[in-house]
Amino acid sequence: MRIGRTKIVVDYSWIILFFVILIITKSFFTQSYPDNTALFYWTMGSISSVLIFLSVLVHELAHFFVAAKFGIRTNSIRLHIFGGIHPVAQEPQSGRQEFVIALAGWAANMVLGGFSLGIYSYFWLMQQTTPVAGIAACLLIANGLLAVLHMIPGFPLDGGRVLRAVLWDRWNDMARATRVVSQIGNSLALFFMIFGILQFLVTQNLFAGLIFLIGLFMKQSALGNYQSILQQKALKEVAIRQVMTENVVTVDWLVSIEELVREYIYKHQFKHFPVFNQSELIGMVSLGEVKSVSRDLWTFKQVRDIMVPIENIVCARPSDNASEVLTKMISENIGLMPVVEKGDLAGVVSRNDIMNLYRIKTDLGTA
């Protein structure tokens, strides 16, 4: 699914959570509406589970649209078991921007919860025991839990971003605010993990396992967010021209795949090559495209048959910021990117090129 150029991906963990929610909601309808068929309970549970999933999606889309209002482009949205991950092309420009963006998801859940409460209250006042009221009750509880969960002050939850926004606005120092919130989030994560383990040992309740997972997820995210900020700070003044490779091995579009493998991939041990038609850059070819062709056809097919056209390639410019390019490469899962200036190939840059500079600056203490 896409919204413009932004891809929405459902993580496999959400599939597991969906079936957990389905079992819980089916049990809820079994107890609340006795003397019905199994088909009724599974149908009501399925409807409730889908609507809860849509509530999570609305939460993430609220972040997306508010960020877009500030001119912040989100490369993709990955829905996982505890919400969503939004790799962005750039960070908010101020703490106030981040505050509004972070609160948007919480506000969406509060609105959905209020709407569900209104529906449930109507049927309760009318003393009607309809399945619609049961679905509304499920959505009310789910949106309430989402709102509470996301206000925990630790990354990647919205509460962590709200706290960082407040500290960032007060100190005018994003790195310092991120460090403090990461430390708070890390402490909370350890608390949840220890509490979850002790709770499970005492009660053998599976809910304790969820608490442990929340803590583990927060701990990993706290470390990841702080490292991301350190990278941005270290690469803030670095332009791509400083890390790109200028002497690039290129391949002609009429070369056979057999020759591409023998004379280019084996000889130079590279996985990506810019493709030229005389002096014009027309695309890129990689090991992945070669592997998609049967070995028997290598002699007959040419590079032009398997290359990715340049208009479908994400390119960088020599003046682009290295941190922003790295973020784009990670979010788009790109290993190597051509660097183009005025239509001409100026070089190529890889994730390793950028990360090697970051590691060197870190070792020298200049990051």
Of 250, 261, 240, give the one whose Cα is nearest residue 284: 250
Longest Cα–Cα distance of the chain, Å, equals: 79
pLDDT computed for residue 160 by the predictor: 84
pLDDT computed for residue 118 by the predictor: 94
Number of other CB atoms surrounding residue 339 within 10 Å: 24
Is residue 303 a contact partner of residue 297, using CB atoms and an 8 Å limit? no
Going from the C-alpha of 253 to that of each of 250, 257, 293, 309, 338, the distances in angstroms are 10, 10, 16, 11, 16
pLDDT computed for residue 232 by the predictor: 73
pTM attached to this predicted model: 0.67
Going from the C-alpha of 244 to that of each of 214, 289, 333, the distances in angstroms are 39, 23, 18
Number of other CB atoms surrounding residue 249 within 10 Å: 13
Element spanning 147, H or E: helix 131-149
Q: How far apart are CA 100 and CA 94, in angstroms?
A: 10
Is residue 337 a contact partner of residue 360, using CB atoms and an 8 Å limit? no
User: What are the pLDDT tens digits along the chain (367 aa)?
Assistant: 666 666 677 767 677 778 878 888 888 888 888 888 889 889 988 998 889 888 888 888 888 888 888 887 766 676 765 555 555 555 677 888 889 988 998 999 999 999 999 999 998 888 887 889 989 998 999 899 888 888 888 777 788 889 988 998 888 887 788 888 888 888 888 888 888 888 888 877 766 666 777 777 777 666 666 667 777 777 778 899 999 998 899 999 999 999 999 999 999 989 999 999 998 999 999 999 999 999 999 999 999 999 999 999 889 999 998 888 887 887 777 888 999 998 889 999 988 888 888 888 877 766 5
pLDDT computed for residue 367 by the predictor: 56
pLDDT computed for residue 349 by the predictor: 92
Q: How far apart are CA 226 and CA 38, in angstroms?
A: 49
| Sequence-separated (6 or more) residues with CB below 8 Å from residue 295 | none
